[in-house]
Amino acid sequence: MPGERRSAGFLRYGAVLAACLLPLACAAAEAPPGNTATFDAIRKAEAGGDYASAFALLLPLADASDATAEGMLGFLYDNGHGVPRDYAEARKWYELAAAQGNPIAMNNLGFLYAQGHGVKQNYARALAWYRRAAIAGDALAARNLGFLYANGLGTAKNEAEAAKWYRVAADGKDAGAQTNLGMLYAEGKGVARDDKKAIALYRLAAAQGDTLAENNIGMMYEAGRGVPKSYADAEKWYRLAATHGDAGAQTNLGFLYEQGHGVQQNDAEAVKWYRLAAAQGYALAQSNLGAMYETGKGVVQNYRKAVEWTRLAAGQGNPMAQTNLAAMYAEGWGVEQDYAKATALLRAAAAQQYPRAQSALGILYATGRGVPRDLVKAYAWLALAAAGGATDPAIARTAANDGNAVAGHMTPQQIAAAQALVRAWQAPTPPQ
């Protein structure tokens, strides 16, 4: 891996827009007539963290087949509040409440199946319960149903159907659904791309304190999508989400400081925000922090720490970190030089269609460093990097130039074989 390519691998960037994870619904519901005072006392006990008292008040009501109490009792068992956590007992009470038409209990049953809590994980059953709850009017269940369709869990992936259910939940003022629907509009998945609709939905969710929506508004301002480009506004929204603990926003704010966009350039401040996000296990921040240690920006240069942080991110499958760690192994920075490990890391990143890894892997095959020299595979990887470098024109140009140089040493038959490998990757099995 030539030295001049090393710096190209150590890049940092902000978080991508991401859909919310499935949340667990609170089992609280409107108190049935005649029990208002009792349920008020239960909710007051829960709010004060006195779950033992809440449990004591709920149990006789649940034993008397009060559906709301059954669902709330299931929730206490589900979370270990006031009683030892017991998913089987939670499921029992949820099923009793669901049998009486309680939509929140139906949603929570769906969540047990989605997570495999006390039951064998079964997304198809989760989807069935979410659908029943959503039809019964539970907004959170509609959001969860949308999530399963968006990710093809328990059903064929169907982004249009995901958008439909997110919209139902968003109309029910569910902040997570508003954010997720905004995501679909921002990416043009299941709906026509519409940045203005996306940011309008993000604002609705952000007004309810949704930190992912706050971060996404910042990203829209940074990119100038749906709003005039403004680093100052991006910084404001990133900081708001970052102070609320959102790891993606912390990473994005760190990047603004590193680049001096909308704030005074400050590597130490960038490191501070990367470190906060990295401590939460956020792979991109771990990768960025590793790169800061590798280059000595904002911290004392330390290859050992660079390897530690980069390895954490690479272990989560982050292709940028895998590429950076490969460079460390190839050059022996902070680790013993090991081309076999470098090659394995580059293959893992290249399989994710990461152009920098594809380009670096092509160079290894062209030079025979760490792998047997193979011009066919070198050309194939460089061609893939050149074709996939729309987000990084510099690497695309470099890969194209390197590919042309390699082609100068190949026969027409070898070039045809390399092109067949490229088609095989796009099929989508990558060349090895």
Can you tell me which residue has the tokens 């906060």? 276
Q: Kindly report the CA angle at 32 between 30 and 36, in degrees rounded to 5?
A: 85
Cβ proximity of 27 and 39 under 8 Å: no
Tokens of 218: 């910042």
CA-based max dimension of the chain: 87
pLDDT at 3: 23
pLDDT at 32: 62
pLDDT at 10: 31
Encode pLDDT of 196-242 as tens digits: 999 999 999 999 999 999 999 999 999 999 999 999 999 999 999 99
- Residue ranges of alpha helices (H) inside 137-266 are 139-151, 159-171, 175-187, 195-206, 211-223, 231-243, 247-259
pLDDT at 46: 87
The DSSP line for 61-76 is: HHHTT-HHHHHHHHHH
Compute CA distances 148 → 138, 243, 262, whole Å: 16, 30, 38
Domain range list for the chain: 342-425
pLDDT at 19: 40
Cβ proximity of 216 and 197 under 8 Å: no
* H or E element at residue 34: none
End-to-end CA distance of the chain: 18
Cβ proximity of 360 and 331 under 8 Å: no
d(CA 418, CA 376): 5
Encode pLDDT of 131-186 as tens digits: 999 999 999 999 999 999 999 999 999 999 999 999 999 999 999 999 999 999 99
- Beta-carbon contacts of 207 under 8 Å, excluding residues fewer than 6 positions away, are none
Encode pLDDT of 2-23 as tens digits: 222 222 223 333 333 334 433 4
pLDDT at 29: 54
pLDDT at 397: 93
pLDDT at 34: 62
d(CA 415, CA 412): 5
Calculate the CA dihedral of residues 113, 117, 118, 121 and round it to 10 degrees: 40
Residues of the chain with confidence (pLDDT) below 70: 1-34, 427-432
- φ, ψ for residue 333 (rounded to 5)? -95, 105
